[in-house]
A = this chain, B = another copy of it.
């Protein structure tokens, strides 16, 4: 039998509804307004109506607020690639996975947009973001090999998928209104198929 232990049970202080979300919103607001470097954890906690201690229960540091979703993002993609029908072509397995990830970003558009503003303004954060995309390409490539796709085909498909995603993301994030990231992903993939067609 397993018992769910929340922070209240653990005696880690008063349970706060949606503390992670409130901290994230407060942090993004301050990072955009004042800059990432200039914002302190104390200010984030204060704006969220929480304590610094609560902040550190959810995030290792200021930077983690921007990157905690990366693991889940990668898992969505990798597990979608793995779960694609056996008959699906590698590029279509990757496309479906990227669309699923795109849908997850679509519903968080405002936060994603704020996050992007913060990252673009800071070289160190950009570096981490680039590394994240590189590690995502490797993970996709591994997932394809698990499906029996050969090395070169797996690498090429994964990198092409990331290229498609990056272009679609860029178009979506710079668009007014809510936009439609999964649709941009489909369009960019179709364009890739068109430009590489013999």
Using CB atoms and an 8 Å cutoff, list the residues of chain A in contact with chain B.
89-91, 123, 126-127, 130, 134, 152-153, 155-157, 159-160, 162-164, 166-167, 170-171, 187-188, 191-198
Contact = CB atoms under 8 A, between A and B. Distances in A.
**Copies of this protein in the complex:** 2
A153 B197 contact: no
Given A127-B130, A152-B167, A155-B167, A91 B162 contact: no
A196 B160 contact: yes
A198 B91 CA distance: 10
Contacts of A166: 159
By secondary structure, the A interface counts as helix
> What are the 7 A-B residue pairs with the smallest beta carbon separation, nearest first?
A159-B163, A127-B127, A156-B191, A196-B196, A130-B130, A157-B195, A193-B196
Contacts of A126: 127
A156 B167 contact: yes
A127 B171 CA distance: 24
Contacts of A157: 195
A153 B194 contact: yes
Contact of A91 (B163, B164, B196): B196
B123 A195 contact: no
Given A91-B195, A193-B198, A195-B89, A163 B156 contact: yes
Contacts of A152: 167, 171, 187-188, 191
Nearest to A144: B195
Contacts of A188: 152, 156
A131 to B, nearest CB: 8
A90 B123 contact: no
Contacts of A91: 195-196
Contacts of A134: 130
B196 A153 contact: no
Contacts of A198: 193, 197
